A and B are shown apart, each in its own frame.
Chain A
Amino acid sequence: MGSPFERLTLPARVESVRAFHRFVRSGAEAVGLDLADMDKLDLVLEEILINIARYAYEDGAGDVQVAYSTEAGSLLVEVTDQGRSFNPLDAAPPDLALGLADRPIGGLGVLLVRQIVGLLSYRRQGNQNILSFRFPGPGPITP
């Protein structure tokens, strides 16, 4: 059984990402993650939060909540927004075989998240998008 969830809610904006990093660090320290893993966790969170900041709210204004629970050396993380229904796992993976001139700029964030945490789950609950993952996760799943 994990600890009760710690929660932080901030505007869904690029400028909130570093505050969320600091918030989750305390949980990461509590479960004994090393610095390299903390950076990976930061990366996963940043990619998810940037996606929400860009796409969740049509008028560009809304909140996002990050919550975590600690359990036996890992964190269970949930990221919740009230934006339009959006499952990032539905996004088509970028074509990594394209050369420099043709490689689209962008689309790499979700790929990184999936590579690092392996298992990411999405659910729509009422008017909320909820993304959750365990960190460290089960490892990369072959795309």
Chain B
Amino acid sequence: MNIEATQFEKAILLKVSGRMDAENAGEFDKACELWISQGAKHLIADLADLQYVSSMGLRSFLAAAQRLRSLSGSLILCGLKGLPRQVFEMTKLDSLFPIYETAQQALAAL
């Protein structure tokens, strides 16, 4: 898994690519914590190049979203497709996150 962060005026865009599993999901937690500790209110996770996510990854998305919500912020998802999209749908987590097709659309909605 690779996480690439880009700072925008209203949000941090985290481009998550590759495979997010039990062994590396903690890296996403750390990236979110880092940006939240620096005052970020809104994080956008661009998952267009995410090939695989297991329930440990889902925990990370859920934890970050709950943390941001408690700070009046949000975790926004975009680019969901393939197996990750199916995993979000099977667990009905897709109804808990704002989801956009592209990062541009997510940024424009803030």
B3 at the interface (CB under 8 A from A): no
Does B90 contact A105, Cβ atoms closer than 8 Å?
no
- Distance A94 CA – B92 CA, assembled complex (angstroms): 11
Q: Among residues 100 to 143 in chain A, which have CB atoms less than 8 Å away from a CB atom of chain B? A: 100-101, 103, 105-106, 108-109, 111-112, 115-116, 140
Does A101 contact B83, Cβ atoms closer than 8 Å?
no
B71 at the interface (CB under 8 A from A): no
Contact flags B2-36 to A (C-beta < 8 A → 1, else 0):
00000000000000000001110000000000000
Which residues of the other chain, B, contact A109 by a CB distance below 8 angstroms? 54-55
* Among candidates A17, A94, A97, A111, residue contacting B21 with C-beta atoms closer than 8 Å: A17
Does A103 contact B22, Cβ atoms closer than 8 Å?
no
Number of B interface residues, CB 8 Å?
Answer: 24
Of the listed stretches A1-9, A38-46, A56-64, A81-89, chain B binds A38-46
- Distance A99 CA – B22 CA, assembled complex (angstroms): 24
Known: A17-B23, A96-B91, A111-B91. A43 touches B52 (CB 8 A): yes
Which residues of the other chain, B, contact A14 by a CB distance below 8 angstroms? 22-23
- Distance A100 CA – B76 CA, assembled complex (angstroms): 13
- Distance A94 CA – B54 CA, assembled complex (angstroms): 16
**Interface of chain B: mostly helix, strand, loop or mixed:** helix
Contact flags A27-43 to B (C-beta < 8 A → 1, else 0):
00000000010011011
Of the listed stretches B40-48, B58-66, B101-109, chain A binds B58-66
Which residues of the other chain, B, contact A47 by a CB distance below 8 angstroms? 54-55
- Distance A40 CA – B93 CA, assembled complex (angstroms): 18
Which residues of the other chain, A, contact B93 by a CB distance below 8 angstroms? 103, 108
Q: Which residues of B contact A (CB under 8 A)?
A: 21-23, 51-52, 54-56, 58-59, 62-63, 65-66, 69, 82-83, 87, 90-93, 96-97
**Which 8 A-B pairs have CB atoms at the shortest separation, nearest pair first?**
A109-B55, A96-B92, A108-B55, A115-B90, A100-B96, A46-B54, A108-B91, A14-B22
15 further A-B pairs in the complex, CB-CB below 8 A; given A43-B54, A50-B22: A15-B23, A17-B22, A36-B82, A39-B51, A39-B52, A43-B87, A96-B91, A100-B96, A103-B96, A108-B55, A109-B54, A111-B91, A112-B54, A112-B55, A140-B90
